[in-house]
């Protein structure tokens, strides 16, 4: 299985990119998120999902592993194909998709072209628990506008090691930091443990 392709960006449009690696040009279908990430760059490392069906093969490219994981979660839902998943990732950010599923915001999910009521309901039903447990969740640290982001990184890492999901941690830490923006790591972890 291919994990990523690293090379020179030969062609770039909002829907596709061609990356040259070892003298071979790889065509990748991309979302608008990945397009924004690639704009203005000469070289890139793109994470790949190799889509194979009887009558077609295609590479889908992603700016990071988290977008790819979310894409894989979306296409695991019956009735959501690769085109619908890419449309979702182009219409909403990773975080907006996760939050819409967790909060059961059917209207937000339905706002994506090609996603109807039944598909939106199925997405929520099949993915809510997986996302709450940390499936397809961003593993990069979140900045909450605190003077020392390393405090958040430390607290977040410690909480993940204790077995809590990134989605839940990302919900709880901003609430604590609103009340006590100058909280030390220990206090942040203790307060988070009370709420998780």
Mean model confidence pLDDT for the chain: 86
Distance CA 142, CA 184 (A): 17
Task: Please check the confidence at residue 87 and state whether its pLDDT lies above 90.
Answer: yes
Q: What is the pLDDT of residue 138?
A: 46
Q: What are the two backbone dihedrals, phi and then psi, of residue 163, each rounded to the nearest 5 degrees? A: 100, 10
Kindly tell me the burial class for residue 16, based on how many C-beta atoms sit within 10 Å of its own C-beta (0-12, 13-18, 19 or more): middle
**If pLDDT is split at 50, 70 and 90, which confidence band does 141 have?**
very low
Task: Please check the confidence at residue 53 and state whether its pLDDT lies above 90.
Answer: no
Helix (H, G, I), strand (E, B) or coil at 3: coil
For 32-41, the pLDDT digits (tens) are 999 999 999 9
Task: Scan for tokens 């990071």, then name that residue.
Answer: 64
CATH numbers and ranges of domains, the chain: 4-62 (2.40.50.140), 66-132 (1.10.150.20), 149-195 (1.10.8.10)
**If pLDDT is split at 50, 70 and 90, which confidence band does 149 have?**
low
Q: What is the pLDDT of residue 95?
A: 87
């Amino acid at each position: 299985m291919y994990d990523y392709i690293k090379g020179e960006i030969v062609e770039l449009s909002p829907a596709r990119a061609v990356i040259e690696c070892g003298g071979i040009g790889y065509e990748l279908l991309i979302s608008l998120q990945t397009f924004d990430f690639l704009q203005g760059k000469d070289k890139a490392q793109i994470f790949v999902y190799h889509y194979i069906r009887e009558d077609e093969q295609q590479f889908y490219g992603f700016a990071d592993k988290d977008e790819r994981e979310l894409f894989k979660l979306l296409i695991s839902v019956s009735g959501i194909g690769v085109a619908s998943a890419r449309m979702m990732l182009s219409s909403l950010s990773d975080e907006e998709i996760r939050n819409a599923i967790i909060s059961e915001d059917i209207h937000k999910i339905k706002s994506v072209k090609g996603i109807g009521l039944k598909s939106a309901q199925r997405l929520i039903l099949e993915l809510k628990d997986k996302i709450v447990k940390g499936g397809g969740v961003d593993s990069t640290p979140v900045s909450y506008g605190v003077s020392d982001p390393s405090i958040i990184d430390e607290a977040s890492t410690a909480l993940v090691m204790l077995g809590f999901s990134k989605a839940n941690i990302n919900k709880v830490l901003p609430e604590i930091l609103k009340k006590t923006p100058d909280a030390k790591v220990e206090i942040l972890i203790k307060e988070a443990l009370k709420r998780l």
